[in-house]
Structure 1
């Protein structure tokens, strides 16, 4: 009888043990995640105008309408991008590398 109770207890506990969170030092399974679909919003474009960089991004213009919003690069909406950086290339102030991290 004790043997049957031990086996029954193990069968009840087994599903919970298999779903337990792994320890921080243990290895984690790896794999590949594939996404399908399309990007529905175009990326922002950047242009040079009046000695500053201007972003032209598609977004919410009014409550019921979407459209393109032009703003200086330093003032891009925080709900659209997480960071925007620019750096001069080859010490030439006319050449800049702009990096935009979208959310």
Structure 2
């Protein structure tokens, strides 16, 4: 039953990522790699894919994410899997005016 729930969650997130009118919004940056995002009445914990924060760097990474993704920023989620019920996804900020805003956040975080 648990795999059914994860599959359903991934399907919902895929649908939301493809519909700009129903984009997910950042509710909270929980750490250097974890976000709390929501769409209407649901919330999801999302881990940034392909990022490993060095020991002692979590606070700096979280600060960068908070600056880059203020509360209610719309994001596109591209799921790559799950880790113990947490969605692992590539996250892309929507609606930015510069080229870096449209890049995968993991790439920006590594650069910063």
TM-score normalised by length of structure 1: 0.27
Higher helix share: 2
Look at both structures and tell me which one has the larger radius of gyration over its CA atoms: 1
* Structure number having the greater strand percentage: 1
Structure with bigger RCO (C-alpha 8 Å, 6+ apart): 2
